[in-house]
Copies of this chain bind each other. A is one copy, B any other.
Amino acid sequence: MKRVAIIGVGNSKFGVRSDVTYPELAFEAFKEALEDAGIAQEDIEMSVVGTVGNRLYDMYPAPLINEYIGLASKGPLRVEAACASGSAALFTAYDAIASERVETAIVIGVEKMCEVDTQTSTAIGGRGCYLWEFHMFGTSFASYYALFATAHMAKYKTTEEQLAKVAVKNHYYASKNPKAHFQKEITIETVLKSRVICWPLKLYDCCPISDGAAALILASGEKIKDLGVQDPVWIEAIGFGSDTGNLTRREDYTSLKSTKMASEMAYKIAKVKPEDVEVAEVHDCFTIAEIMAYEDLEFCKKGEGGKLIDEGQTWIGGKIPTNIDGGLKAKGHPLGATGCSMVYELTRQLRNESGNRQVPLKKYIALAHNVGMTGQYCYVTILRR
């Protein structure tokens, strides 16, 4: 298995991007990644687009994007894994290099969600158990996570205040990240007093609907020598997991089995322990999701996620700084872009380029955790420099 390095990263501004089209948004991230890598467009052998896509822009988004950015002759496929589409695309491009198929590849994660008429019905509502729970009981995406939250509160005495603290942290860091959708700090009261979406989740417990793109340029260990790249960020492992979407078949509502599968696989391949990770991006589509991720990724013991945020351990200076870019919660969550954007942030952290949000590092090990739907998919990526 060949080693794979990240040699260039780019991230568009996240938010309501009615100023650009779908391919233009992808181009923003692509251009930055190409300049960051310092290579020519011709050096890229393969392009993988990660996106859910939508009817408005085309049923076939990859050629549309590759055509616009000048990679029409390098783009053989689109990869989709709902909210984890960006990570699934990274996984595919990684394998194409690790298998010695190509020496370089670009991953482009992109989504334009703010102008679509279907987001609440199919794209969001249908992220659970589509043919049964959604249609029969009206279980929407927020209500699935509300179910997880009430289960966690009942079993582990997790509180609404603890959930709110996740939102406060993530909005705080988003306010320092010019690419984040939200740029304002909030307080615990802001969250607690916001309107209930599905109890105990309130408006500020939920990530927004955002437009955005992120791009990653990968190269094999041999290729980086030819390109003169020194000291890159390495992908040590990508673990994957998946699980039933039918909640009646799940063993536990306080944990995501797919996260446990993916992280166990990634830790094992990378020969890394949870306590080695110095900075993390986790999938906080709702505040409870971040608490569950702390536990499932073994940053703390099961049931102690609330305590971890209470103690400030996931802020810079704490045990495991998490979502220092604002997370899905406040940076935004353009489905296909999210997984790539997580790796964009961690690559820059590992390169000490994060300015006033820089996490102090010793081991230079980082972890990205990207979930699709209500845990049907999960990818855990471990990076090291």
Q: Spell out A's residues near B (CB within 8 Å).
A: 1-2, 46, 52, 54-55, 58-60, 62-64, 66-67, 72-82, 88, 91-92, 94-96, 98-101, 118, 122-123, 126-127, 129-131, 240-246, 257-258, 261, 372-373, 376-377, 379
Contact = CB atoms under 8 A, between A and B. Distances in A.
A373 B372 CA distance: 28
A235 to B, nearest CB: 12
Given A60-B373, A78-B79, A131-B58, A100 B245 contact: no
A88 B376 CA distance: 22
5 contacts: A63-B376, A72-B245, A73-B258, A76-B91, A78-B81
A379 B99 contact: no
A215 to B, nearest CB: 18
A12 to B, nearest CB: 20
A243 B131 contact: no
A73 B126 contact: no
A29 B213 CA distance: 36
B80 A245 contact: no
Contact of A245 (B63, B94, B243, B245): B63
Contact of A242 (B72, B98, B122, B242): B72
B92 A245 contact: no
Contacts of A244: 67, 72-73
Given A98-B100, A244-B67, A77 B91 contact: yes
B88 A261 contact: no
Given A54-B59, A58-B122, 10 more contacts: A60-B80, A60-B82, A60-B126, A60-B376, A63-B376, A63-B377, A66-B242, A74-B242, A77-B91, A79-B92
Nearest to A261: B73
Contact of A58 (B73, B100, B126): B126
Contacts of A92: 77, 79, 92, 95
A95 B99 contact: yes
A110 B375 CA distance: 23
Contacts of A91: 76-77
A255 B54 CA distance: 31
Contacts of A66: 242
A243 B73 contact: yes
Contact of A1 (B52, B81, B100, B131): B100
A52 B59 contact: yes
A209 to B, nearest CB: 15
A271 to B, nearest CB: 15
B126 A242 contact: no
Given A59-B123, A95-B96, A373-B60, A76 B240 contact: yes
Contact of A59 (B75, B122, B379): B122
Contacts of A241: 73, 76
A91 B96 CA distance: 9
Contacts of A64: 130-131
A130 B60 contact: yes
